[in-house]
Amino acid sequence: MKLLSVNVSRPKEVSYNGKRIKTGIFKEPVSGRTMMRRLNLDGDGQGDPTVHGGIHKAVYIYTIEHYDYWKRELGRDNLTYGQFGENLTVEGLLEEAVHIGDVFRVGEAVIEVSQPRVPCFKLGIKMGNARFVKPFLASERVGFYVRVLEEGEVGAGDAIERTKVGDGQMTVKEIVHLLHFDNTNAAAIKKAANLPALSPGWRDSFKEIVVKTQGGPQ
């Protein structure tokens, strides 16, 4: 597992449906090493901090293996690091092999997987295709967010080492599939609702499903 690129962007204004909005999705690779902090990478920012960023979504990670898939699906050969708005483009961190709560050392930093990424309309802006958001989510190749347990410098070429497997061993792919595509697995839904490392918003969503379908959280 390896870090291939660190990508950042300050928020900027773009036109969308006749309005001006701010977004930090236009990530660009940086050279040298970058400080990863509790809430962000140096040089990075979010256009709407009410829904992006924060402790549980400090850094967004996407794996290079998905680039080939999207090149085929979209018929494009011009996808570059940061294409999907990720802060870290990595190798070897697939959603079916990464668990919520997994802890990794990357360079000098230590991170913990907190939740899958759910795309918003700004990904469509970045891709130049407003309809891209739906197939991106449906593919379950969504990447994931992490919280920063220990701050430190990171840079392209750093090895990524898993130092802990998350309690419950529920993968990123399993979590996104449960919430968005299959609410029928009652046991898994209950387990997700009580997953300690899962971000509070996702846990609350699973708890709501439990209340509706099973008569209350257990």
- Coil, strand, or helix at residue 17? coil
Handedness of CA 12, 29, 82, 118 (dihedral sign): negative
Residue 84 lies in a domain: yes
Judge whether 58 and 145 are in contact, CB under 8 Å: yes
- The answer to whether position 62 is within a domain reads yes
Distance CA 11, CA 110 (A): 26
Query: Does residue 181 form part of some domain?
Result: no
196 in a structural domain: no
Q: Is 100 exposed, middle or buried (0-12, 13-18, 19+ CB in 10 A)?
A: buried
**What is the secondary structure of 88-107 as a DSSP string?**
EEEES--TTT-BTT-EEEET
Whether residue 190 is contained in a domain is answered as no
Say yes or no to pLDDT of 217 above 60: no
pTM of this prediction?
0.93
Q: Is residue 173 part of a domain?
A: no
Indicate which CATH number applies to the domain containing 156. 2.40.33.20
Question: Mean pLDDT over all residues of the chain?
Answer: 93
Whole domain around residue 146: which residue ranges?
2-168
Number of residues that this document lists for the chain: 218
Q: What pLDDT, in 10s, does the model give residues 34-58?
A: 999 999 999 998 876 766 778 999 9
Structural domain count, the chain: 1
| Residue 185 lies inside a defined structural domain of this protein | no
pLDDT value at 24 more than 90: no
Residue 216's pLDDT is 47
Residue 218 clears pLDDT 50, i.e. is over it: no
pLDDT at 213: 79
* Alpha-carbon span 139 to 150, nearest angstrom: 32
In a domain, 198, yes or no: no
Could you read off the pLDDT of 148-198 as tens digits, one per residue? Answer: 999 999 999 999 999 999 999 999 999 999 999 998 899 999 999 999 999
